[in-house]
A and B are shown apart, each in its own frame.
Chain A
Amino acid sequence: KQEVTQIPAALSVPEGENLVLNCSFTDSAIYNLQWFRQDPGKGLTSLLLIQSSQREQTSGRLNASLDKSSGRSTLYIAASQPGDSATYLCAVRSGANSKLTFGKGITLSVRP
């Protein structure tokens, strides 16, 4: 059974800092991995999707990497801003249209 872990559960950093959010999964046989952002009381916004054959994806100040063999992914946020404060969720999919298995998320607070 796939399990996704995100540690720590919460993180507070000063504005401008570069930071890395970690995600680990137990079964390396994944189809793809997604990083999401969730603001309080809101739905999920997809940030980046990495196919199992890819090593990284970039979008603006965000860069996500995938090391399938070790069961790890990282989300790198450059030059963090207060507007980046949210919960970041990592999720993996084992097959093309199978369900997503989510981690519990990391709640990020960026202090002005």
Chain B
Amino acid sequence: GAVVSQHPSRVICKSGTSVKIECRSLDFQATTMFWYRQFPKKSLMLMATSNEGSKATYEQGVEKDKFLINHASLTLSTLTVTSAHPEDSSFYICSASYRGRNYEQYFGPGTRLTVT
């Protein structure tokens, strides 16, 4: 149990366009969803935390107008990278937690974004 999916797994887009990444908890209702970014050979960097129906809480240095997060339901959160630039190319990973498992975080498989 506790499976988290992400879609798409890979996406290539042109500079200036926007791209949306979906994160779904498949077999549980997530209390909270988290969005991370990972650079090559670096640790995961938390971008934002979101609870269903409320605004996301962004970490310091993360532009909320550039990385739009919508948490429409207990099983779905989306991250939209707006006006993408090559420096936004990265590996984006979401996770979901719920109270029933001591808030253990379950991670999605990640999305590789390449901006050309």
Q: Are B43 and A89 in contact, CB atoms less than 8 angstroms apart?
A: yes
User: Please, how many residues of chain B have a CB less than 8 angstroms from a CB on the other chain?
Assistant: 25
Q: Are A43 and B104 in contact, CB atoms less than 8 angstroms apart?
A: no
Out of B49, B93, B104, B108, which one reaches A99, CB within 8 Å? B49
Q: Which residues of A contact B4 (CB under 8 A)?
A: 43
Asked whether A100 and B110 contact (CB < 8 A) given A43-B6, A43-B93, A44-B93, the answer is no
Q: Is B109 an interface residue (CB 8 A)?
A: yes
Q: Is A66 an interface residue (CB 8 A)?
A: no
The minimal Cβ–Cβ distance linking A107 to chain B, given in whole angstroms, is: 8
The minimal Cβ–Cβ distance linking B73 to chain A, given in whole angstroms, is: 18
Considering the complex, give the chain A residue whose CB is closest to the CB of B45. Answer: A102
Q: Are B43 and A105 in contact, CB atoms less than 8 angstroms apart?
A: yes
Q: Is the interface of B mostly helix, strand, loop or mixed?
A: strand
97-115 of chain B: CB within 8 A of chain A = 97, 99, 102-110, 112
Q: Is B75 an interface residue (CB 8 A)?
A: no
Instruction: Tell me the complex Cα distance, A14–B42, Å.
Output: 26
Kindly state the interface size class of chain A when it binds its partner: 20 to 34
Q: Which residues of B contact A51 (CB under 8 A)?
A: 102
Q: Are A100 and B105 in contact, CB atoms less than 8 angstroms apart?
A: yes
Instruction: Tell me the complex Cα distance, A104–B99, Å.
Output: 27
Stretch of A19-27, A34-42, A67-75, A76-84 lying at the B interface: A34-42
Can you show 27 pairs from A to B with CB atoms below 8 A apart?
A32-B104, A34-B105, A41-B91, A41-B110, A41-B112, A42-B109, A43-B93, A43-B109, A44-B44, A46-B104, A46-B106, A49-B102, A51-B102, A89-B43, A89-B44, A93-B103, A96-B102, A97-B32, A97-B97, A97-B99, A97-B103, A99-B34, A99-B46, A100-B34, A100-B95, A102-B44, A105-B43
Chain B residues close to A by CB (< 8 Å): 4, 6, 31-32, 34, 42-44, 46, 49, 91, 93, 95, 97, 99, 102-110, 112
Chain A residues close to B by CB (< 8 Å): 32, 34, 36, 41-46, 49, 51, 89, 93, 96-97, 99-100, 102-105
